[in-house]
Amino acid sequence: MGVHAFILRRLGAVVPVLLVVSVLVFLMSHLTPGDPATIMLGENASAADVARLRHELGLDRPLAVQYGRYLAGVVRGDLGRSIRSGRPVGLEIWERFPPTLQLTLAAMAIAAVTGVLLGALAATSRTAAADTLLMGTSLLGISMPSFWLGLLLILLFGLVLHWFPIAGGEDWRALVLPALTLGAQAAAVLARLTRASLLDVLPSDFVRTARAKGVAGTRVLFRHALRNALIPVVTVMGLQFGALLGGAVIVESVFARSGLGRFAVAAVQSRDFPVIQGIVLFAAAIYALVNLSVDVVYLAIDPRITYGE
């Protein structure tokens, strides 16, 4: 099977996944306690006003009818309108996605570079103390919650050293602390995986042959061993990208950054069903496309890989 046929087949498989996601998020959002009409009008609103608003929003119809209307709109590219603002959900998401994407890409870059380098250093370290120190650092990164790490970074680099702004901002300096906070756990995961994968590859015959030919140690590591060890690492990078995209909800709240994460939190608090459904469906589509891209990247890393039936 060629690459193009493989991509088309995977794109076709994304459709039922998104359908299942839409059903689950629709049911979960509508079964969550709380009435959007009551939240919008206030608790002192009369029952008649609440009933009239529920009818205007279509919330008094059966769930099956509401989902049918929602699914028909999604097929047409219409994610509905926000209950709070009345604006199209797709437009609301598109306006808030760039800051979140910027944060996620910055965190992914930090995680990939830091994780691979730490893992390579740990795998090739000549002392047990260095290996223990590097892996202990990665374990600390995995164990520390992102909101706690974010607060520590704010305290040290924002309030004590005054190196970076602690909230808001649109320049690169305002992105440093949130990206470090978001990428720390992913970097730790990639470091441990890179180390384990390299330890499996380094004793291989082709590595010993390269060394016997007098190839420099760094070239053996990065050109021969690391390239073959990166396949499982790239797989986890794709998974981590989805985790980072979801983790932006917490980090954007800690650093008061405008983005899709804070928008999602506000939508959940106000029971804005169309926005909640649109954000989850959009994130699921991004996640599926990223994992498809990871599969294609395999060919660049190792041309021996083929996509068979």
Residue-wise pLDDT for 40-62, tens only, equals: 666 677 778 778 877 777 777 88
Q: What pTM was estimated for this model as a whole? A: 0.76
Q: CA 13, CA 236: separation in Å to the nearest integer?
A: 20
Q: What is the CATH number of domain 90-301?
A: 1.10.3720.10
Closest CA to 179 of 238, 260, 252: 252
**First-residue to last-residue Cα distance in the chain:** 6
- Token readout for 15 is 């459709």
Structural domain boundaries of the chain?
Answer: 3-75, 90-301
- Helix axis angle for 226-254 and 89-124, nearest 10°, is 130
**Chain segment 107-129, per-residue pLDDT in tens:** 989 988 888 888 888 777 766 77
In the chain, what's the furthest Cα-to-Cα distance? 85
Better pLDDT: 211 or 97:
97
**Chain segment 24-42, per-residue pLDDT in tens:** 888 877 777 666 777 666 6
- Token readout for 100 is 């979140």
